[in-house]
Amino acid sequence: MTNSAQLDQLCINTLRTLSVDAVQQAQSGHPGTPMDAAPTVYCLWQHFLRYDPQHPNWPNRDRFVLSSGHASMLLYSLLYLCEVQATNSSDEQTGGLAVTLDDIKRFRQAGSRCTGHPEHGWTTGVETTTGPLGQGVATSVGMAIAERWLAATYNRPDYDLFGHKVYALCGDGDMMEGVSSEAASLAGHLQLANLCWIYDDNHISIEGRTDITFTENVAVRFLSYGWNVVYVADANSLEQLARAYNTFLSTHDRPTLIIVQSHIGYGAPHKQDTKEAHGEPLGEEEVRLAKEFYGWNPDIQFHVPDGVQAYFKAQFGLRGTNLQAAWAHLFASYRTQYPDLAQQIDRMRHRELPEDWDSGLPVFATDAKGMATRDASGKVLNAIAEKMPWLLGGAADLSPSTKTQLDFEYAGDFQAPGELGDYRGRNIHYGVREHAMCAISNGLSLSNLRPYAASFLVFSDYARGALRLAAIMKIPVITIWTHDSISMGEDGPTHQPVEHLASLRAMPGMMVLRPADANEVVEAWRVIMPLKDRPVCLVLTRQALTTLDRTRYASAKGVARGAYVLADAPDQKPDVLLLSTGSEVALCIAAYEQMKLEGIKVRVVSMPSWDLFECQDRAYRDSVLPPQITARVAVEAASSLGWERYTGFEGSIIGLDNFGLSAPMKVVVQHFGFETSHVVAAVRKQLMRHKTGGLKS
């Protein structure tokens, strides 16, 4: 064996033993995949990955996504051995290593950078949070789309600023999840030749051998998607692995799937090919046997032999340092020749907006007939996108219904270059793939583009895994959900969302905005666009809503504070509060006007965003919802769950605690009591209880 081959094997076994020791010490985790996939990932990082450990957020770095998030110790071991530096999102070093040996020794313990599954934003070098299977590979498609778009938009002759590759390590579980199939199908259609999935085919899942559930021909499936498929028969052959990676690099018309045949827990003689090597520590005896198999001292834990880190630095590190330095020099020259384009790239990297991004936003005139908030949003979206070239996205086959098509000149469609469009296009057609759409949007955002994704609110159910990860990662993905209530009418209960607002509001870090008219939509977008550290759900109507007269009622700028007094008693001392969001605000205004004629003192509060309202100081919140006024009615065509926070247990909630009805819109609305007379009756009942002592003020 040559000296380099010996060093290769030493590095691979160090990756294995660090992973095994960390899992054993934590008494928690998955040692099997780090053991069997170590050669696969080592070959990629040491010999192919374009990545500078000194600048791990370098824009043109290759991306490595560990979709098999349970194998997190493999990634942490690599980050440590490669001496990847800890940096912030601006690629500024914050001091020290991204992962230290102490972090590895404290795997899965509080405060360690080595969490149970990789967490983006917590550990430098983790490109995306993974763990829920299928999410990593689906997100990697977004990263690949981002590279194609960046290259097509910003590269110029002699200035290839963008040309990086996206690699994702996945396993049997990823291949079983539906979101992976959605994403792979779209990636094949788009001919994303910069995308490589590495399938660690070890035939094991938590319940045992995969042949109890999973016997399809994965290769044929991916060939049907339009992928190139490459086999590696021996996961421990660096020669075969290198040949597979070179095949990917020489393929220019389609994504590549590399199927690597491996044995889980390789080197754990008694637990080889068993589920125990996958889902729990090996045990002290098996750890000793594994180390002896590798030629390791079984009595030493967390051992890093001399020469291992130096060997990574001499190949992986030196290659990345040289490539990053060359890129920085190229970008400096590009900045001189194309200053406007360079400024756009700078703004993207720092999640900044163009200076005049909101200069062309519409102002909607008072109109009793009004317009659907989806229509108003479409106008605002196009106005912003014209000023912000890196705002792009699409819908799950519903852009005509969600009004999310960018229709200004040169917006274009993102497609493989041809008669349908090219990679410069800003309209992404996702097909009926809600879950992949949102995971792909996460990948676009992690590449510093500003993506939006759209569908009907009821179909947010299909995307929840990706939505939740966006919230965990604190990335500013914009999701637009239309057809937001029972006013869908004839489509019936299957398409009429009920519990969805409550569900999205319950998600930590997810901002939910449900504007009441066209001008609240404008102000909602003013809130959305400056966001840097949280995703948002913009919830919109299909049906037309009155555009309120803002000379009679409060300015829509109150949206920025989440809730505001829209209409008030003449003396600003109301006896009852009417609280509402979205389409039901106009209903509350109609009730307010009727009761005003009767001398009943009512305050109408528009509450488009509970999240924003809760961020306000106590003085403001009390000014909008005075604690001493306990006669309260909330009106929303959705589940009543959560409204008791604002109405109190004695207040009234006009909501939905059942599924919808298939009938014309007016019939459905009347059936569920969303009528002026019903709101007025609820207010009267609150006031009566108050006067008779049933409520305290």
Number of neighbours of residue 101 by Cβ within 10 angstroms: 13
Q: What is the mean pLDDT of residues 621-642?
A: 97
Dump pLDDT digits (tens) for 331-368.
Answer: 999 999 999 999 999 999 999 999 999 999 999 999 99
For residue 152, the number of C-alpha atoms closer than 13 Å in the C-beta half-sphere is 21
Q: Hey, what amino acid is at 31?
A: P
Report the DSSP beta bridge partners of residue 64: 167
Q: How far apart are CA 377 and CA 483, in angstroms?
A: 13
3-325 CATH choice from 3.10.20.740, 3.10.20.30, 3.40.50.970, 1.20.1250.20? 3.40.50.970
Contact by Cβ (8 Å): 440, 141 = yes
DSSP for 596-636 reads HHTT--EEEEE-S-HHHHHTS-HHHHHHHS-TT---EEEEE
Q: How far apart are CA 505 and CA 281, in angstroms?
A: 38
Give 508's contacts (C-beta < 8 A, 6+ positions apart).
Answer: 471
Report the DSSP beta bridge partners of residue 392: 451
Active site residue 147: no
Inform me whether the pLDDT recorded for 449 exceeds 80. yes
pLDDT category of residue 272 using cuts at 50, 70 and 90: very low
Q: Report the pLDDT value the prediction gives residue 632, as an integer from 0 to 100.
A: 98
Inform me whether the pLDDT recorded for 571 exceeds 50. yes
Dump pLDDT digits (tens) for 363-390.
Answer: 999 999 999 999 999 999 999 999 999 9
CATH assignment of 562-691?
A: 3.40.50.920
Terminal CA-CA length for the chain: 86
For residue 12, the number of C-alpha atoms closer than 13 Å in the C-beta half-sphere is 24
Q: Report the pLDDT value the prediction gives residue 269, as an integer from 0 to 100.
A: 45
Inform me whether the pLDDT recorded for 277 exceeds 60. no
Q: CA dist 473 to 278, 530, 693, Å? A: 26, 17, 49
Q: Apex CA 182: angle with CA 178 and CA 188, to 5°?
A: 140
Domain 367-546 indexed as CATH 3.40.50.970: yes
CB-based burial label for 536 (10 Å; 0-12, 13-18, 19+) = buried
Active-site residue (options: 182, 276, 434, 636): 434
- Residue spans of the domains in the chain: they are 3-325, 367-546, 562-691
Residue 424 or 205, more confident: 424
Q: Report the pLDDT value the prediction gives residue 95, as an integer from 0 to 100.
A: 85
DSSP for 552-595 reads TS--GGGGGGS-EEEE--TTS--SEEEEE-TTHHHHHHHHHHHH
Q: How far apart are CA 154 and CA 187, in angstroms?
A: 22
DSSP for 429-473 reads ---S-HHHHHHHHHHHHHTT-EEEEEEEGGGGGGGHHHHHHHHHH
- CA–chain centroid gap for 616, Å, is 26
Q: What is the mean pLDDT of residues 97-124?
A: 97
Report the DSSP beta bridge partners of residue 604: 567, 578
Q: Hey, what amino acid is at 86?
A: A
Dump pLDDT digits (tens) for 38-82.
Answer: 999 999 999 999 999 999 999 999 999 999 999 999 999 999 999
Strands 544-547 vs 367-372: parallel, antiparallel or unpaired: antiparallel
Q: Report the pLDDT value the prediction gives residue 262, as an integer from 0 to 100.
A: 87
Least confident residue range of 196-205, 236-245, 322-331, 581-590: 196-205
pLDDT category of residue 697 using cuts at 50, 70 and 90: very low
Q: Report the pLDDT value the prediction gives residue 254, as an integer from 0 to 100.
A: 98
Q: CA dist 99 to 66, 75, 84, 120, 647, Å? A: 16, 10, 8, 13, 48
Give 300's contacts (C-beta < 8 A, 6+ positions apart).
Answer: none
DSSP for 163-215 reads ---EEEEE-HHHHHSHHHHHHHHHHHHTT-TTEEEEEEE--EETTEEGGGT--
Q: CA torsion sign, 646 to 651 to 653 to 658?
A: positive
Contact by Cβ (8 Å): 441, 477 = yes
Tokens of 39: 């050669």
Contact by Cβ (8 Å): 219, 229 = yes
Q: How far apart are CA 324 and CA 651, in angstroms?
A: 62
Strands 204-205 vs 208-209: parallel, antiparallel or unpaired: antiparallel
Least confident residue range of 267-276, 526-535, 585-594, 614-623: 267-276
Contact by Cβ (8 Å): 291, 298 = yes
Contact by Cβ (8 Å): 59, 260 = no
Q: Report the pLDDT value the prediction gives residue 265, as an integer from 0 to 100.
A: 59
Mean pLDDT (the chain, rounded): 94
Three-state secondary structure call for residue 263: coil
Inform me whether the pLDDT recorded for 267 exceeds 50. no
Q: How far apart are CA 216 and CA 211, in angstroms?
A: 9
Strands 195-201 vs 166-170: parallel, antiparallel or unpaired: parallel
